[in-house]
Structure formats: C-alpha cells, structure tokens
Amino acid sequence: MADEPGPLIAAGRAADVFDVGDGKVLRRYRGTHGDVEHEARIMAYVAERGYPVPTVHEASGADIVMDHVDGTTMLASLEAAPWKVVWHARLLAKLQRDLAKIPAPDWMLGPSVDPARRLSVLHLDLHPMNVMLSKRHGPIVIDWTNAGGGPAAFDAAITYVEIATFETSGPRDQIGQRVFAEAFKRFRRVPNFDAFVETACDHRLADSGITPGERVAVAELRKKVKRSDTP
C-alpha cells in the first residue's frame, strides 16, 4: 500500500481510515496490530450468513481495504438526536442478538475449547462508534479487530461495560449514557448477566488501550457488580 493512500477521513485509537476512491476505504493500523487476514476472514464468514458488514477487498500487513459505508456512526446520531437513545439501544441489542445466532467455527476457537459447547461469533467491541447507520443499507457493523468465538453473554457484557464506562462530559451526556446502558441491558436479556459483567470488567482493565478515566470507571463498575453478588 502507498504511504499516502488518499485523504484521511477518520482516526481511531488504533488505526487511521483513508478514502482510496472507487467506493473503498483503507483501514491502516498504527504500531502493533492484530491479524488483518484473520479479521477479514471473520468478516467474510459473518457476511456469508447475512450479517451486515462492509465487503473486504484486500487484507495484508497492517492494511485492510473494504467498502466505504455511507452515513454516520450511531454515536454521532445519538449526539445529534439524544431523544433516540432507547431506539438506538434496542437496535444495538438486536445487532448483538443476531450475531450471537452465528456459530463460531473451529478455526475461530482455541484448541482447548470443547467443540460440543454452543459458542458464537463475538465482536468484543460492539458499541455506538462501531455501528454505521448507512442511508442505503441500514446499520453496518465495523471494526472486527477483536472478534473471536466464545459465549454470547460475554460479548453482551463487554458492550455493556464499554457503554457504561465511556468518558462523557456534562450531566446531560451522563444521564443519556446511563439510560443507554440500562436500556441495552434490558433489551439484550442475558441470563447471569452480572457474572459476565465482572469478567468483562477484568477484560477491559487488562486492555492497555483504554483511557485513564475509563479505567477508573471500569474499576468502580466492577466493585458495584461484586457488591451486588454478595449475599
């Protein structure tokens, strides 16, 4: 890939996104990155089963080329129309339930996993910044860097923790954040949810990429979940 592939249109915590023309974008990871070929394989796998993801055209090294999704992120839509918070929470829960219906193939699981267990494809980073609301194709789920296989409830718990601990400023945003997190939890309806939330908090705390403010919020959430489990 060229050093300057095209105009920079987005920059995340781990990667930059460039417009390379012809209706395509290049997602280029900075520093250490995951296996983009594995990421592309997972995206192709869920796409074949009807799940809404961008079509991948090329994946090698730190670069992955895929279709350019028109529209805005769910987060941008929430910021523009905060009164839609419950509607968006319901949509996010549906996207995750639909993903949970897709069984994880053997190549997506570790060698120690019992193949008899019912395990699903997990996104493991499904939050409002990773859902594009396409004008033509509806919601599209992006950024499959962390995807893998496992119990679907763990994916739901990761999403809840990310939503509940995302850094916000101002009382209005904080109220909206709490409403979104609790509405998502209600719509998702996962058995033994709090037990998975505790594990999800540990997973987030082990991530060097979270901000200091998020780290504090995750630790506080873990304490609350632990206290609620105490007889």
| pLDDT recorded at residue 185 | 95
Where does a domain end: 21, 36, 67?
67
Alpha helices in 101-129 (DSSP H): none
Average pLDDT over residues 37-56: 96
- Does residue 230 register a pLDDT over 90? no
Match 């296996």 to its residue by tokens.
35
Provide Rg for the chain, Cα atoms. Answer: 18
Where does a domain end: 21, 44, 67?
67
pLDDT tens across 139-177, in order? Answer: 999 999 999 999 999 999 999 999 999 988 888 888 999
Name the residue range of residue 41's domain. Answer: 8-67
- Does residue 231 register a pLDDT over 50? no
Where does a domain end: 67, 84, 108?
67
> Cα–Cα distances in Å, from 76 out to 4, 89, 202?
27, 14, 28
The predicted model scores a pTM of: 0.90
| pLDDT recorded at residue 35 | 77
pLDDT tens across 89-132, in order? Answer: 999 999 999 999 999 998 888 666 665 567 999 999 999 999 99
Say if CB 125 and CB 146 are below 8 A apart. yes
| pLDDT recorded at residue 33 | 65
pLDDT tens across 182-215, in order? Answer: 999 999 988 888 889 999 999 999 998 899 999 9
Same-domain check for residues 179 and 124: yes
Same-domain check for residues 18 and 130: no
